[in-house]
Chains A and B, each alone.
Chain A
């Protein structure tokens, strides 16, 4: 069973700080990685995708991928209370036929 592991949290950071969310995966052949944000009672919303080793930046968000360590992370700079949500890491299996979701990390940003 291919797995995606995340620390469930809650991760608490003050407003303006950097929030760091981490994810590990077991399928060494995975090629595509995604971060979704899910507010309570809502559906997941895509934040970023990343396919190559290294960093990918989009506004206040930076995704980092290390395939050798089977590790993907999401950094949120200048965290805002509106960033308070559950962040889901999702990984495609090697065949690209299924997207495996982690349980999510709950982030709380205090003002």
Chain B
């Protein structure tokens, strides 16, 4: 059972606001990920981290930024929210094992930018 948490679960905010989406995991996983998913569409990787002070951009270009100062914490920040950022944001974590990582997902944050 994965213990990975995201807050807030739902956020409605106006254009131009700065927002931070929180993600924490209590499993000691070294790898963490942020995905973006629009309704009925596939998951797109926007950021990932393989450990403290390590962050990389994913396949989908995103105006967001991330940080990894602590193993358990991987927040995502949007400096100036726009309606095009409206989406569901999913955080996941994994640890290397066997033939490949198994990723476990948090409950997600549904963001609406007006």
Residue ranges of A at the interface with B (Cβ–Cβ < 8 Å): 31-32, 34, 36, 41-46, 49, 51, 88, 90, 92, 96, 98-99, 101-104
Contacts and interface: CB of A to CB of B under 8 A. Distances in A.
Nearest to B108: A43
Given A34-B102, A42-B107, A46-B104, A102 B45 contact: no
A104 B108 contact: no
A44 B105 contact: yes
A98 B59 CA distance: 9
A43 B101 contact: no
Contacts of A44: 43, 90, 105
Interface residues of B, number: 20
Nearest to A33: B100
Given A43-B90, A44-B43, A44-B90, A99 B103 contact: yes
Given A43-B90, A96-B101, A98-B48, 5 more contacts: A34-B102, A42-B108, A46-B102, A51-B98, A96-B100
B43 A88 contact: yes
Interface string B91-114: 000000011111111111010000
Contacts, number: 49
B33 to A, nearest CB: 8
Contacts of A51: 98-100
A12 B45 CA distance: 30
27 contacts: A32-B98, A32-B99, A32-B100, A32-B101, A34-B102, A34-B103, A36-B105, A41-B110, A42-B108, A43-B107, A43-B108, A44-B43, A44-B105, A46-B104, A49-B102, A51-B98, A88-B43, A90-B103, A92-B100, A92-B101, A98-B45, A98-B48, A98-B58, A99-B103, A101-B42, A102-B42, A103-B41
A49 to B, nearest CB: 6
Nearest to A91: B100
